[in-house]
Structure 1
Amino acid sequence: MCGRFAVTLPPDAMAQLFAAQPANDLPEVPNYNVCPTVQVHVVRLGETGRSLLPMRWGFLPHWYASETAGPLLINARAETLAEKPAFRAACRARRCLILATGFYEWTKDAEGNRLPWYIRRADGAPIAFGGVWQDWGRDEDRRSTCAIVTTGASEAMSRIHHRMPLILDPEDWPLWLGEAGKGAARLMRPGDEELLSFHRVHPRVNSNRASGPELIEPFDESD
């Protein structure tokens, strides 16, 4: 799964990287502790091409009467994406890219303490998570919401967690967004073994109130 991430790339650099028209109300960056229900940076395909927009991280199916009317859907499993009522329409027609610099995952020690890890692309490039989106609400309450698609973990990632977010390379973006026709389902697989690097970070990131660049710095308990 993916329950927390970091984003540090400036919006103008995001727009250039994804060849997308940026909105004027994008979330502030850097943010080293992006948590569920906040606004995140999303690229989606519209009538005039790619747009870089803010969306609520937490997919809201159209039948939710309120934001808390059902489970918080921050992730969507690739294996059941086309079958689940919440996601199956979005899987076909509303796929997006969710931007990040890296993400967090946790293991546990013998005493059950949560040990956080920071995971990023080994080549240092920004991350594009495969996602799905849904507009929810009416009139002034209408908002766009999204979820990150997840797959089974690669062998390297499985040392930390049995799931991982779907990470798409630039050559796959057109197919995922729907610009290159059909067949996006074939992209829903774990990344290559060499795709990611990871290191332990300080337990302060266990708090969703923590902030600052030190959250992604390597941490050694023996220091």
Structure 2
Amino acid sequence: MCGRFTLAASPEDIARLFDLASIESFPPRYNIAPTQPILLVLGGREARPETAVDGRHAMLARWGLIPSWLRDTRGFPLLFNARSETVATKNAFRAALRHRRCLVPASGFYEWCKEGRKSRPYLVKPVSGRPFAFAGLMETAHGADGGEVDTATILTTAASADLAAIHERMPLVVEEGDYERWLDCRTFEPREVGDLLSPRRAGFFEAVEIDDRVNKAAYTAPDLQAPSRPAGEASSPGARRPGTVARAPSAQGSLFDD
């Protein structure tokens, strides 16, 4: 299973988008992988009762959720995503969906389209070029030694019609107008945000075929996002001629498939 996403927006742009009073400086990141720290936006004190923060704030967490009730992580799977269709019924995610919903800022994500024995990587990014947010959940895990670690997962949903040729799943994107409802766990219960657990509308993203250097998590230079085909040449997933696509086999592994 492969997967990556990117956050290349400036701290100032993120602060404006999410209405943050302040945010620590961070560098652009072009190849974020599971187990690495990711930026989260939380709604306030209800997400972290022990803090004195009431408004929206940003924090870092390990990408790969560990339920707060788990004491021994040996043999436990890396929960870096959660299916939106079943998240309310899964024991690992149920409490976080009720009490600790978050947003994960991003500039785009990577997906691989299986064609024969090869997989072609794509950068999927908003047509607008603006940053956006995945729907996320966070938990503070407690170790056997008494230590704590903040962890998070990204929710997934069925792919929108224009991305289904690459893969049948995609990350769940929260509309800017729905940020407050998703983050306000005190006012809105899971059943009251259920309508947000659906695919992003077609036309929001564009997919660009890129070089397979993205396969290596250690490669983090911005040039990995450069198109692998000359400008104007069709790079649609499965393209044989402009406007034709072939659906990827459902067995293809993905960051956004559990």
TM-score by length of 2: 0.79
Specify the SS of the correspondent of 2:170.
Answer: strand
The corresponding residue for 1:42 is 40
1:82 corresponds in structure 2 to 88
**Cα offset, 1:91, TM superposition:** 0.8
2:124 maps to what in 1? Answer: 119
Deviation at 1:106, TM superposition (A): 0.1
Distance 1:92 1:179, change over 3 A: closer
Q: Gaps spanning 5+ residues in structure 1: where?
A: none
SS of 1:214's equivalent in the other structure is helix
How is 1:13-52 mapped onto 2 (pairs within 5 angstroms)?
13-22=13-22, 24=24, 28-47=26-45, 48-52=54-58
| Alpha-carbon separation, structure 1, partners of 2:73 and 2:132 | 27
**Residue-pair matches, total:** 219
Q: Considering fraction of residues, name the structure with more strand.
A: 1
Question: By how many angstroms is 1:158 displaced?
Answer: 0.4
- Structure 1 window deviating more from structure 2 (213-222 vs 10-19): it is 213-222
Task: Summarize deviations over 1:157-186 as a string: whole Å, max 9, x none.
Answer: 101000010111210101110179422111
- 2:185 and 2:87 map into 1 onto residues whose CA distance is 20
Question: Which residue in 2 is equivalent to 1:9?
Answer: 9
Shift of 1:66: 4.6
- Superposed CA RMSD: 2.2
Distance change (3 Å), C-alpha of 1:76 and 1:145: same
Task: Report deviation, 1:14.
Answer: 1.4
1:147 to 136, 144, 153: 153
Identity %: 37
Structure 1 CA distance, aligned partners of 2:213 and 2:179? 34
How much has 1:20 moved relative to structure 2? 2.0
SS at the partner of 2:214?
A: helix
Higher fraction of helix: 1
Matched, 1:197 2:197: no
Query: Could you say what secondary structure the match of 2:202 adopts?
Result: coil
The one-character-per-residue Cα deviations of 1:41-96 (angstroms, maximum 9, x if unpaired) are: 10001221101111111001123335554000000100001000000111111100
Radius of gyration: which is bigger? 2
Q: C-alpha separation between the residues in 1 aligned to 2:85 and 2:77?
A: 19
Deviation, 1:3, is 2.8
Query: Displacement of 1:15 after TM fit?
Result: 1.9
Amino acid at match of 1:33: N
* Aligned pairs (5 A) from 1:148-187: 148-178=154-184, 181-182=187-188, 183-187=192-196
Q: TM-score, normalised by structure 1?
A: 0.90
1: CA distance, partners of 2:74 / 2:110: 25
C-alpha contact 2:100 2:185 (8 A) present in aligned 1:
no
What secondary structure does 1:16 align onto?
helix
Q: CA deviation at 1:13?
A: 2.7
Quick check: 4-13 or 183-192, which moved more? 4-13
- Code of the aligned partner of 1:163: R
Any gaps of 5 or more consecutive residues in structure 2?
46-53, 234-258
CA distance in 2, matches of 1:120, 1:13: 16
For residues 167 and 109 of structure 1, do their structure 2 counterparts lie closer, same or farther at Cα, with a shift above 3 Å needed?
same
Counterparts in 2 of 1:35 and 1:175: CA distance versus 1, 3 Å: same
